[in-house]
C-alpha cells in the first residue's frame, strides 16, 4: 500500500477498538513469568552451554598475547574463542567498533575472549583465569579537552557547512536583550532491566539466534555481515524484550559471541552480559557541552538564536545531535546551529531514548527560562510569543499539526501555574523551599516502511505476524487493536506474533517510529485481506462492512469464519510512505511541568508532582501511551537529578558500571505523575493518523525540573545532574 496523500475516512476512524484504554494482551504472560525472554528460552533447543565474555582491561592499545592454559584446564570448560580462533570476521555497518577485539583494543571491556562451559559459574570462574598481556596506548578520554580546536560543522562531520538562516551574528549583536550560556550533560547508561542476552544454535551452516533486540531485520543483516554468511542462513527471534531504550537497536557482543561460541562448542550457547559490561561493552548516550545564544526584542520576540553542541565518539562514530530541536521549535529570523565531534576512546556513543532532543532540550529549555527572566516575562508567555506554525528555515513548509500553545495553556491551567511566584525562593513549606518549572517538549515524527501478514482461519480467528518487536511498550496490544478494528472482530479473536525474522519486515522499535509505522503496516495487510474476503464472497469491496465477526454487503451477511473456509485466507502487504513527511513538517509536542521541594538546610531535592501534556497524533491506546510517557518522565527525572556515567579520565572507562553506583529513580522519588493527551489526528502521517509518543515524554523533562529548582532556590545550575554540591553554597540563608 502506497501512502502518498493524506488519509481520508477509513475503518480506523470507527474507533470501536482503537483509541480505547486497553489492557495489554501480553500482560498475563508477563505477570505470571511465562513470557519467554531471550536468556530463559530453555524450551527452544536442548543441551545449552553457558558463555562468559572476558572484557578488555585497557581502553586503547594492543593484545600482545593471551594465555589460555589455566582456563582450558578449568572444570567444565568446553571451548574458548578469541580473535585468533574465531576466523575472519566482518564489522556491522551500524557498529562503530568491532565486537571482538584483537589484536587492537578500541575501548574498555571490548570482548577479547569467550569461555564456554557446562554451567554459568564454571564459565565465569574460567574467565577469571584468562591471562592477557596488553600494550597500553595513550587514549583520549576528556571531552572538553578533545573538543578544543575542533571547528564547528553542520552535522559533526568534517567539511559540512554550519546551518545558517539569515545573519545570526549581526542580529545577536543588535538585540537589546541577550543570553550567552553554556550547559553540560553527562554520559548516560540505558540501564534497562533485562541485560543484553542471546542463545545461539547452528543447524549445519544455518544459525538461529534467540536474542533481545529492538530491530530484527537490522540484527539479522548485521549478524550475517559480521559472521560472513548469507543473511538467508540467519534467523533472529525476539518476541519479548525487557527494555531497550535504544541500547538494543544494534547488534552487540552477546549475539556475535554466542554464535561464535556455539560454532566452537558444537552445541547451543547462551550468554547474558554482566551488568558492568552493559555500561562499558555496549552503547551509551554521549556527554555534551552546549552553548546557546538568544537575542530578543524588549517585548520578547526572538530575533537571533544559536545552538552549538559538542560531543565525542570512537573513530568513525557520530555526534549526539543535540541541536536538532532548535531548528524547529521556536521562531526567529536569524539562526545558527552547529556541532563539534571529538574522537574519544571511550565505549561507543549511540542512540538512547530521544537521541538529540533529550539532551538538547535539557539545555535549550533552561536557556528559554533564563531569557524569560531577563525580559521580565512569564516563561510560558515567552514560549507562546515565539511559537511558529511553519519551519523557520522554510516558511512555505507548514507543520502538519502543531499544538504547542495548547499544550502549554492546558498544562498551565491543570498544574495551577498561576500560583507560581515569579521571583525565586519565595515559597516555603516548613523547611522546604518550593518551586515550579516548565519546559516545552519536541520530537520529530519519523515513518518507516512496515509489513505484516494477516490470516483468518475457519474458526474466525485473525492472526497477525510481523517482525515488529515489543520492548515493554504495548506493541502486541495496539497491533491487535488495529487488526480487530479493521477486520471487525473482538480483541480476543486476534492472535499477534512478533519478533521473528521469518515474518514480514516491520519498522522495528526505535526512534518513536514503531507504533505508527507497524500498525500502518498491519492496516495495509488487513485492507488487502478484506479485498480477498470480498472477492471470495462476490461482494463489492468498496461497499463491504466488517463488524461483529461478520461481513456484510447490502442485505447479505456472512460469518467471517465461513468466508475464510476450511483452508483459511491470508494476505501480506506493507505500508510504503511517500513524501508527505517532506511536504509537511511532522512533529510531536509537549509541555512538561514540575514542582519540587528543596530542603533549606541540606539541599535535598524532592520532586512533588509532574505533569505532561502531549500532542502526538491519534493515541492508539491511551493506557499504554500513558505508561510510555510516565516512564519517559521518570527517565527524565533520573537524567536531571542523579544519572551520570563517571569517566575515569586516566584509564578511560565508566567507573559506576552497575546499578549500585549508577543510580536510577525509584517509586519514592516521584510520588505523582499526570499525563494529558490532546485530541489530535494527523492524516499526513499514516492511515492510522497517529505519531509516536514514547520519546516525546522525556523531551524537556530535565529542564522543567532544573527550572523548578531555580524557582525554589534562586540558584541556577547549568550542569547536569543537578546534585546538591552544585548549588549548596547558594541556598537562601535559613532564618
**Mean pLDDT computed over 312-317:** 97
Query: What contacts 551, CB < 8 A, 6 or more positions away?
Result: 488, 533, 534, 537, 539, 544, 545, 557, 558, 559, 560, 563
Q: Which pLDDT score is estimated for 158?
A: 83
**Mean pLDDT computed over 470-497:** 98
When the pLDDT of each residue in the chain is averaged and rounded to a whole number, the result is 97
Q: State residue 338 phi and psi, 5-degree precision.
A: -160, 160
pTM: 0.98
Is residue 159 predicted with pLDDT exceeding 90?
no
Q: Please name each of the domains of the chain with its CATH number.
A: 45-137+194-243+248-280 (3.30.365.10), 288-446+583-730 (3.30.365.10), 448-576 (3.30.365.10)
Task: Choose, from 406, 695, 725, 733, the residue flagged as catalytic.
Answer: 695
Q: Which pLDDT score is estimated for 700?
A: 98
Q: Summarize pLDDT for 518-530 with one digit per residue, the tens.
A: 999 999 999 999 9
Q: Which pLDDT score is estimated for 654?
A: 98
Our answer to whether residue 308 is catalytic in this structure is no
Q: Alpha-carbon distance 691 to 618, whole Å? A: 7
**Mean pLDDT computed over 186-203:** 98
Confidence bin at 735 (pLDDT 50/70/90)? low
| Residue-wise burial string across 115-151, b where 16 or more C-beta atoms lie within 10 A, e elsewhere | bbbeebebbebbbebbebebeeeebbbbbeebbeebe
| 3 state SS for 436-468 | EEEEEEEEECCCCCEEEEEEECCCCCEEEECCC
Q: What SS3 state is found at 144?
A: helix
User: What is the β-pairing status of strands 550-553 and 556-559?
Assistant: antiparallel
**Mean pLDDT computed over 228-243:** 98
Is residue 27 predicted with pLDDT exceeding 80?
yes
Least confident stretch, 40-54, 153-167, 189-203:
153-167
Q: Summarize pLDDT for 601-655 with one digit per residue, the tens.
A: 999 999 999 999 999 999 999 999 999 999 999 999 999 999 999 999 999 999 9
| Spacing of C-alpha 403 from chain mean position | 23
Check residues 666 and 541 and name the one with the higher pLDDT. Answer: 666
Confidence bin at 272 (pLDDT 50/70/90)? very high
Q: Summarize pLDDT for 349-403 with one digit per residue, the tens.
A: 999 999 999 999 999 999 999 999 999 999 999 999 999 999 999 999 999 999 9
Q: Alpha-carbon distance 512 to 576, whole Å? A: 17
**Mean pLDDT computed over 436-462:** 98
Q: Alpha-carbon distance 720 to 185, whole Å? A: 5
Amino acid at each position: 500500500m502506497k501512502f502518498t496523500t493524506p488519509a481520508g475516512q477509513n475503518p480506523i476512524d470507527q474507533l470501536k477498538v482503537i483509541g480505547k484504554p486497553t489492557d495489554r494482551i501480553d500482560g498475563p504472560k508477563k505477570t505470571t513469568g511465562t513470557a519467554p525472554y531471550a536468556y530463559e528460552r530453555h524450551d527452544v533447543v536442548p543441551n545449552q552451554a553457558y558463555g562468559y565474555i572476558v572484557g578488555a582491561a585497557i581502553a586503547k592499545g594492543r593484545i600482545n598475547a593471551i594465555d589460555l592454559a589455566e582456563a582450558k584446564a578449568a572444570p567444565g570448560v568446553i571451548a574458548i574463542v578469541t580473535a585468533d580462533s574465531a576466523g575472519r570476521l566482518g564489522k556491522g555497518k551500524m557498529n562503530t567498533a568491532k565486537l571482538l577485539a584483537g589484536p587492537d583494543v578500541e575501548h574498555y571491556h571490548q570482548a577479547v575472549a569467550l569461555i564456554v562451559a557446562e554451567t554459568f559459574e564454571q564459565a565465569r570462574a574460567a574467565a577469571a583465569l584468562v591471562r592477557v598481556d596488553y600494550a597500553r596506548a595513550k587514549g583520549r578520554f576528556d571531552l572538553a579537552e578533545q573538543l578544543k580546536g575542533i571547528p564547528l560543522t553542520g552535522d559533526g562531520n568534517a567539511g559540512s557547512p554550519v546551518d545558517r538562516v539569515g545573519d545570526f551574528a549581526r542580529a545577536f549583536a543588535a538585540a537589546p536583550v541577550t543570553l550567552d550560556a553554556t550547559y553540560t550533560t553527562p554520559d548516560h547508561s540505558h540501564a534497562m532491566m533485562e541485560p543484553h542476552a542471546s542463545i545461539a544454535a547452528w543447524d549445519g551452516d544455518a544459525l538461529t539466534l534467540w536474542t533481545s533486540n529492538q530491530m530484527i531485520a537490522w540484527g539479522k543483516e548485521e549478524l550475517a555481515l559480521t559472521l560472513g554468511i548469507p543473511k538467508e542462513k540467519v534467523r533472529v527471534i525476539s518476541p519479548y524484550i525487557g527494555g531497550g531504550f535504544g541500547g538494543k537497536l544494534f547488534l552487540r557482543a552477546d549475539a556475535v559471541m554466542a554464535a561464535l561460541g556455539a560454532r566452537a562448542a558444537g552445541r547451543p550457547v547462551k550468554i547474558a552480559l554482566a551488568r558492568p559490561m552493559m555500561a562499558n561493552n555496549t552503547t551509551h548516550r554521549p556527554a555534551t557541552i552546549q552553548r546557546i545564544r538568544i537575542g530578543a526584542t524588549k517585548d520578547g520576540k526572538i530575533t537571533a538564536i544559536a545552538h552549538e553542541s559538542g560531543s565525542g565518539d570512537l573513530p568513525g562514530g557520530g555526534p549526539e545531535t543535540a541541536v536538532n530541536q532548535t531548528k524547529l521549535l521556536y521562531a526567529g529570523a536569524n539562526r545558527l546551529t552547529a556541532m563539534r565531534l571529538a574522537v574519544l576512546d571511550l565505549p561507543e556513543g549511540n542512540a538512547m531514548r530521544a537521541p538529540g532532543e533529550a539532551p538538547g532540550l535539557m539545555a535549550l529549555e533552561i536557556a528559554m527560562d533564563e531569557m524569560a527572566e531577563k525580559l521580565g516575562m512569564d516563561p510560558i508567555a515567552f514560549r507562546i510569543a515565539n511559537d511558529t506554525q511553519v519551519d523557520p528555515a522554510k516558511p512555505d513548509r507548514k507543520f502538519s499539526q502543531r499544538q504547542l500553545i495548547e499544550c502549554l495553556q492546558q498544562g498551565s491551567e491543570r498544574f495551577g501555574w498561576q500560583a507560581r511566584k515569579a521571583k525565586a525562593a519565595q515559597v516555603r513549606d516548613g523547611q522546604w523551599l518550593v518551586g515550579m518549572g516548565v519546559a516545552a517538549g519536541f520530537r520529530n515524527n519519523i515513518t518507516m516502511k512496515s509489513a505484516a501478514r494477516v490470516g483468518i482461519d475457519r474458526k474466525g480467528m485473525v492472526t497477525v505476524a510481523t517482525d515488529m518487536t515489543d520492548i515493554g511498550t504495548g506493541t502486541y496490544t495496539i497491533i491487535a487493536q488495529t487488526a480487530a478494528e479493521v477486520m471487525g472482530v473482538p480483541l480476543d479473536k486476534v492472535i499477534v506474533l512478533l519478533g521473528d525474522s521469518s515474518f514480514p519486515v516491520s519498522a522495528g522499535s526505535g526512534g518513536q517510529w514503531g507504533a505508527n509505522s507497524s500498525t500502518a503496516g498491519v492496516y495495509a495487510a488487513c485492507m488487502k485481506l478484506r479485498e480477498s474476503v470480498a472477492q471470495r464472497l462476490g461482494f463489492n469491496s468498496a461497499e463491504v462492512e466488517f463488524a461483529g465477526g461478520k461481513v456484510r454487503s447490502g442485505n447479505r451477511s456472512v460469518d467471517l469464519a465461513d468466508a475464510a473456509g476450511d483452508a483459511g485466507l491470508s494476505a501480506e502487504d506493507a505500508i510504503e510512505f511517500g513524501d508527505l513527511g517532506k511536504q509537511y513538517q511532522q512533529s510531536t509536542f509537549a509541555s512538561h511541568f514540575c514542582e519540587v521541594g528543596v530542603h533549606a538546610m541540606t539541599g535535598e531535592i524532592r520532586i512533588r508532582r509532574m505533569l505532561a501534556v502531549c500532542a502526538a497524533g491519534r493515541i492508539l491506546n491511551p493506557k499504554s501511551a500513558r505508561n510510555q510517557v510516565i516512564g519517559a518522565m521518570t527517565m527524565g527525572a533520573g537524567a536531571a537529578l542523579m544519572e551520570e556515567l563517571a569517566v575515569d579520565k586516566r584509564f578511560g572507562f565508566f567507573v559506576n558500571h552497575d546499578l549500585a553506583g549508577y543510580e536510577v529513580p525509584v517509586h519514592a522519588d516521584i510520588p505523582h505523575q499526570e499525563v494529558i493527551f490532546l485530541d489530535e489526528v494527523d492524516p499526513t502521517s499514516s492511515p492510522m493518523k497517529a505519531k509516536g509518543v514514547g520519546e516525546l515524554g522525556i523531551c524537556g523533562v530535565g529542564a522543567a525540573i532544573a527550572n523548578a529548582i531555580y524557582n525554589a532556590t534562586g540558584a541556577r545550575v547549568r550542569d547536569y545532574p543537578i546534585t546538591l554540591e552544585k548549588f549548596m553554597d547558594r541556598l537562601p540563608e535559613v532564618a
